[in-house]
Chains A and B, each alone.
Chain A
Amino acid sequence: MSLPDSYLRYDSRRYGMDHELYAWSMLPDRPKIRWPGEARLALWINIALEHFPLDTGQTPFPPPRGLERPYPDYWNYTLRDYGNRVGCYRLFRIVDEAGAKASVAMNAALAASTPFLADYVVEHGYEVIAHGVDMAHLHAAGLDEATEREWIERSLDLLRKRTGQRVGGWLSPGQGQSPATLKLLARSGVDYCCDWSNDDMPYRFSGPAEGLLSMPYAFDLSDYTCMGLWFQTAEEFADQLVAKARLLLDEAGTGGGRMLCVSLHPSISGHPYRVGAIREAVTRIMGMPGVWAATPAEIAAQFKAQA
Chain B
Amino acid sequence: MERKAEPGLYDYLPLVSRPTIRWPGDARVAVWVAPNIEFYELMPPPNMTKNAWQRPNPDVMNYAWRDYGNRVGVFRMMDAMRELDVRGSVSLNVAVCQHHPEIIRRCVELGWELFSHGVYNTRFVLNMTQEQERQMIRDVIETIRNASGQHTDGWLSPSLSNNPWTMDLLAEHGVTYTCDLFHDDQPMPLRTATGKMCSIPYSLEMNDVLVYTRAMKSPREYGRMIKAQFDQLYREGADNGMVLCVPLHPYLIGQPHRLEPFVEALDYIKGHSGVWWATGREIAHWYNENYHEAAVEHAAKLRNDDVPA
Contact = CB atoms under 8 A, between A and B. Distances in A.
Interface in B1-56: 1, 3-7, 9, 12-17, 49-50
A285 B236 CA distance: 24
Contact of A78 (B12, B15, B181, B232): B181
B5 A55 contact: yes
B217 A231 contact: yes
A74 B7 contact: yes
Interface string B223-250: 0011011111100100000100000000
Interface residues of A, number: 36
Interface stretch (B70-78, B113-121, B159-167): B159-167
A141 B15 CA distance: 39
Interface stretch (A80-88, A187-195, A239-247, A293-301): A80-88
Interface string B207-235: 00000001111000100011011111100
Contacts of A84: 12
A79 interface: yes
B67 interface: no
Given A72-B163, A72-B164, A162-B309, A273 B5 contact: no
B14 A74 contact: no
A75 B207 CA distance: 13
A72 B162 contact: yes
A198 B256 CA distance: 47
Most buried by B among A55, A72, A74, A79: A74
A55 B3 contact: yes
Contacts of A233: 217, 221
A138 to B, nearest CB: 15
A249 to B, nearest CB: 28
Interface stretch (A34-42, A98-106, A109-117, A210-218): A109-117
Contacts of B185: 86, 272
Interface residues of B, number: 50
A71 B3 contact: yes
Contact of B183 (A54, A69, A78, A116): A78
Given A81-B183, A85-B183, A70 B50 contact: yes
A116 B6 contact: no
A272 B233 contact: yes
Contact of A231 (B160, B162, B215): B215
A81 B1 CA distance: 23
A231 B216 contact: yes
Contact of A90 (B6, B15, B49, B306): B15
Interface string A43-69: 000000000011100000000000001
Contacts of A82: 182-184
11 contacts: A54-B5, A70-B49, A85-B12, A85-B13, A89-B16, A114-B12, A117-B12, A120-B16, A161-B309, A273-B206, A273-B226
Interface of A: 53-55, 69-72, 74-75, 77-79, 81-82, 84-86, 89-90, 113-117, 120, 161-162, 231, 233-234, 271-276
Given A55-B5, A86-B185, A231-B215, 4 more contacts: A53-B6, A86-B184, A89-B14, A276-B228
